Structure formats: C-alpha cells, structure tokens
Amino acid sequence: MSGDPILTVDRLMMRFGGIVAVNELSFAAERRKITALIGPNGAGKTTVFNCITGFYRPSGGAIRLSHDDGRSIQLERLNDFRISKQAKVARTFQNIRLFPGMTALENLMVAQHNALMRASGLTVLGLLGLPSWREAEKRAIDLARSWLDRVGLLDRADDAAGNLPYGDQRRLEIARAMCTEPALLCLDEPAAGLNARESGGLNELLLSIRNEQGTSILLIEHDMSVVMEISDHVVVMDYGVKIAEGTPQTVRDDPKVIAAYLGADEEEAIAVMESGT
C-alpha cells in the first residue's frame, strides 16, 4: 500500500499470558480515508483497538501516528489519556460508554476538557469569571451545539444521555469523540444494534466526517453493509493475524476471507458473500 498513511501499525504483538491475541500484525490507515478492520468474533480486532488507543500496552511492535504537520508520534510509548490529549486519537466503545447522568450537551462539554482547562487558566481564571473564560465557554457550547445538530440531537441537548434511545446514544458517542477534535477517529462497532435506516444514517455521518472535517477513520464493524459501502480500505483479521487487505471489492472476493467467515460463523459468511454478488 502506498500513499500517505496517518497510522502505521508495524508488527504489533499482544500477548495475554500464553495467549497470543495479536501476532505480528502490520497495516496502515490512509489519511482522510476510512479504513475498516473486520474479522470473525475473537479475531483480535478490539485488542488492536485497545493497543492503538492506549488501553493496552503492546507486547511488541510499533504504532506510528503522523500528523498533518509532519509530527510523528509513537503511540505504543504513550499511554492512557495522553493518546487522546497529545496524539489526538479519539475512540468510541463497543458497549456505549456515555456519562448517563449528564445531559447530551454536558457529555460534549466534558469532551472538550483539555481545551477548556487551558482557557480557564487551570480553573483560576474560570473561578474569577474573567471574560476570556466566558468567551471560551461560549465557543465550546457552540462547537457542541454544531455537533448535536450534525447528529440530529439538537432538540435533545438538555436530556440526560442515559435517557436517549440506543441509536441516539451511538451517534452521541461519535459526536463526543469528534468534540475532542481528533486527527484519527477509532470506532468500535458503531453500527452494532442499529436498524437498517439508522445504519444508513451512520454511513452518511461517517462520510461527512471524512469529507468535511478531513478526519481519518478506523473502524471495526460486523455490519457488512456499512463496511462495503463506506470503507476505502479493508483489513481482514483472523486468529490475531492479517489474512487479507485491499479495497472492499478485492477483499469480498478473497477465498481466504470467505473461508475464515465460513469456518467461524455461517451467518457472517453468508452476509459477506451476499453483499459480494
């Protein structure tokens, strides 16, 4: 693969005791493109995600993120909150993790924590209520408002996040991740539990994030209608190793991919083959 990768994963290893969850995985995600990571259940996709977003420390290998300005960061050396704060990688979770007792708007305000902390002079200026802080807070609310509008939740801004329907919660989590103004957005099964109409809306949202914000997207997905429709590049994993990669078209016709899905889960194999015909 050529071009201008934003994320380069090089011989990534992840061991849990004797179990090798990810074995020498290498792939790259192009800048301003949507890259999908697919594979049968237990293939190690979420483990890769957790390594990229700093929740696990890889046992070996390198993960490099190169920003637009040429700055390059080794993600495997950062951990925890620094991945989001310094490397500008945002993520969502397979089982939604919103702040259920806070409103949708508050959820998006929390996402702008680091920018607002600077603006509030590490709380001192904010405590005094200086105009510069009020200005920054207003801008933050405007950013949150625009994202609520983008995901169609503007009229539910003041409702508790935990009270929103499932599909809305999924979109709110994406909006929250985008409020951190990331360079790379990692989505863990964004279409899980959505109906056909909702996942159609999700496709449009993700495409607009790529086209308008220029954010690169890496996603794990089981819903082949989402993967095949919006991905620019697909990486297929099975048992912790990469078995294929390429455009959705080439991956769909790859016999190894079909075999992996057939061997693992009949339903998913049929889904892959049907969307291929």
Partner 1 sequence: MSATSARPSHAALPSGGAFILKKALISALVALVLFSLMIGVRTEAGPQGGLIYWTRFGDLAALVATVFGGSIIVELLRQWWGPIDKDSLVPKPVQSAMSFAGRWLAPALLVFAFLVPVIFYDQRYILDLSILVLTYVMLGWGLNVVVGLAGLLDLGYVAFYAVGAYSYALLATNFGLSFWVCLPLAGILAAFWGVLLGFPVLRLRGDYLAIVTLAFGEIIRLVIINWQSLTGGPNGVSGIPRPTMFGIPLDNSDSGLAARLGIEFSPTHRLVFLFYLILAMALLTNWVTIRLRRLPIGRAWEALREDEVACRALGINTTTTKLTAFATGAMFGGFAGAFFATRQGFISPESFTFQESALVLAIVVLGGMGSQLGVALAALTMIGGFELFRGLDQYRMLVFGIAMVLLMIWRPRGLIGHRAPTVFLERNQAISSDLVKEGHG
Contact positions toward partner 1, by CB under 8 A?
53-55, 80-85, 90-91, 93, 95-103, 105-106, 109-114, 116-117, 120, 123, 126-127, 129, 141, 145, 154, 157-163, 166, 169, 176-177, 180
Query: Of the two residues 28 and 105, which places its CB atom closer to partner 1 in the complex?
Result: 105
Smallest separation, CB 90 to partner 1 (Å): 7
Query: Of the two residues 132 and 247, which places its CB atom closer to partner 1 in the complex?
Result: 132
Smallest separation, CB 158 to partner 1 (Å): 5
Smallest separation, CB 94 to partner 1 (Å): 12
Smallest separation, CB 13 to partner 1 (Å): 23
Query: Of the two residues 69 and 155, which places its CB atom closer to partner 1 in the complex?
Result: 155
Query: Of the two residues 117 and 196, which places its CB atom closer to partner 1 in the complex?
Result: 117
DSSP secondary structure of the chain: --S-EEEEEEEEEEEETTEEEEEEEEEEEETTSEEEEE-STTSSHHHHHHHHTTSS--SEEEEEEE-TTS-EEEGGG--TTHHHHTS-EEE--SS----TTSBHHHHHHHHTHHHHHHHTTTTHHHHHT-HHHHHHHHHHHHHHHHHHHHTT-GGGTTSBGGGS-HHHHHHHHHHHHHTT--SEEEEESTTTT--HHHHHHHHHHHHHIIIII--EEEEE-S-HHHHHHH-SEEEEEETTEEEEEE-HHHHHH-HHHHHHHHHH-HHHHHHHHHHH-
Smallest separation, CB 101 to partner 1 (Å): 3
Query: Of the two residues 163 and 249, which places its CB atom closer to partner 1 in the complex?
Result: 163
Query: Of the two residues 66 and 94, which places its CB atom closer to partner 1 in the complex?
Result: 94
Smallest separation, CB 117 to partner 1 (Å): 5
